[in-house]
Amino acid sequence: MIKTRDTLVSVVDDDESVREALPDLIRIFGFDVRAFSSAAEFLDSEWLKKTDCLVLDVAMPGMSGPELQEELVRRGEKIPIVFITAHKDENERIPLLQGGAVDCLFKPFSDVALQEALDRALR
């Protein structure tokens, strides 16, 4: 897939500071971006069907990132996922990757690491 402003990356994270900073960075990479405070907000949005890649927090109140991943699979939605997490636990990361995630980045991650993960997801 060629990177264009028409490529939509959706960010789902309950942390307001992440929802403010991450979209700005993703726009610098050349993507359109939408941010959501919860899995439910994303699932109920018009942007679900338009999302080309999902940057998804692992631990959120209500539906977690992995639970959202399972729900998307259940619905037949094939959206590449890059997980982000503050918990630096390789034992948590491995099942996410085995479950189909493109990557799982530990916060704080570099802009280069995020860009490389998005590039892999959108290939």
Sign (positive or negative) of CA dihedral 67, 63, 13, 91: negative
102-111: long-range contacts (C-beta < 8 A, 24 or more apart)? 102/53, 104/58, 107/18, 109/84, 111/25, 111/28
The tokens of 31 are what?
A: 């993507």
Q: How far apart are CA 17 and CA 27, in angstroms?
A: 16
Phi, psi of 27 (to 5 degrees): -65, -35
Q: What is the pLDDT of residue 23?
A: 97
Q: What is the pLDDT of residue 88?
A: 86
Q: Locate the DSSP E strands across the chain.
A: 8-12, 32-36, 53-57, 81-85, 103-106
Each residue's pLDDT expressed in tens, for the chain with a length of 123 residues? 445 568 999 999 999 999 999 999 999 999 999 999 999 999 999 999 999 999 999 999 999 999 999 999 999 999 999 999 998 888 889 999 998 999 999 999 999 999 999 999 999
Q: What is the pTM of this model?
A: 0.94
Q: What is the pLDDT of residue 89?
A: 84
Phi, psi of 41 (to 5 degrees): -60, -45
The tokens of 113 are what?
A: 């690491």
Sign (positive or negative) of CA dihedral 14, 76, 32, 118: positive
